[in-house]
Homo-oligomer: A and B are copies of this chain.
C-alpha cells in the first residue's frame, strides 16, 4: 500500500454504497437495527485481503463506536460523512419459504434525501473501485471524482434496473467488471439463460461479468472464457442479507491483493468470494463476518477448493 503525506495509508479498494441499519426477520429469528448496507458488507468481505475505504454517509443516529469498530477491523472510514440533520438509511425485510423469497417491509431513505458521494482528496488515485449497489447517479458521481484509470467493478439491483436503466447501463459501460445476481442479470437483459445474459452484459464493454447464484455459486465470463464455481455447502443458513455484497468484497479484495484481474486469478477470486459469502450467511446480521479472521477464511478456502477440484 502507498503511504500519503498524512501518514495514513490509502485504501487499495474504495467502495461507495449504502451504510444502513437493517431489521431482519427470518423464518427462525429476528434482529433489530443491525449494521448493514452494501458498502459495509463489501468492506467486511474485502478487509481480509486489503485495506478497504468506505465512501458513504450516516445519520445522527449512528454511534461513533460503530465507526471505531470498522477502523479496528482495518476499514478506512475517511470517506464516511455524518449528516447531522438526517437519520441513517434503514431497511426492514422478511425472508420467507426457507429463504427462497424476500420482501421489503419498510425503507427509511434517511441521509439519501441530502447525500451525494464525496471521494476524499487523498483517495483520488485509488487502484480498485467497487460501485456497490446504490443509485447509478451516485455511482457515476463517484467515478467522476477519480483520477487515473482504476479497475472499476460495479453492482446494481432490481430497483435501479427498473427505474434508471440508462444510468445502470452507463455504469456498466464504464466498468472493468460487473457483478450481478441471477435475477438482476435476467431482468437487465431480458434473456432466459444466465450464459446469454452474461454475454449481453459483456457486450457493453466490461472485461468480466460475474453472475451470482446465491447458494449455487456463480458463473463468470472473462475474455472469451467461462468459469463456473459452486457454492460452499452449508449445514444451516441464518440470514442471507449481505451475502452478495460480501461475496463481491471477497472477489475484489483478492483481486486487489493479487494485483491481477484475469484468468487464474479471477477464477481463484470467485472461490474466495464464495468463502466470504458463506461465512456471511451463518449469523443474523454481519456478526460472523466481523468476528472472522484470515485464518478462518483460509481454512474454508482450502476446504472449498478440495471439494471443487477433488484434490
Contacts and interface: CB of A to CB of B under 8 A. Distances in A.
Interface stretch (A165-173, A260-268, A291-299): A260-268
Contact of A195 (B217, B228, B233, B268): B233
Contacts of A304: 228
Interface string A257-279: 00000011001100000000000
Contacts of A66: none
A229 B309 CA distance: 9
B195 A310 contact: no
A149 interface: no
Given A227-B310, A307-B227, A98 B233 contact: no
Contact of A228 (B194, B233, B237): B233
Contacts of A213: 216
Contacts of A236: 192-193, 196
A108 B102 CA distance: 40
A31 to B, nearest CB: 20
What is the oligomeric copy number? 2
Interface string A212-241: 010011010000011111111111110000
Contacts of A195: 233-235
B310 A193 contact: no
A204 interface: no
How extensive is the interface on chain A, given as a class?
Answer: 20 to 34
A267 B235 CA distance: 21
A308 interface: yes
Interface string A195-216: 1100000000000000001001
B234 A217 contact: no
A227 B306 CA distance: 8
Contact of A268 (B226, B230, B306, B310): B310
Given A195-B235, A308-B308, 8 more contacts: A98-B192, A193-B235, A216-B216, A216-B217, A225-B306, A225-B307, A226-B307, A228-B232
22 contacts: A98-B192, A192-B236, A193-B235, A194-B233, A216-B216, A216-B217, A216-B230, A219-B230, A225-B307, A226-B307, A227-B307, A227-B308, A227-B310, A228-B231, A228-B232, A228-B304, A228-B307, A229-B230, A230-B230, A264-B310, A267-B310, A308-B308
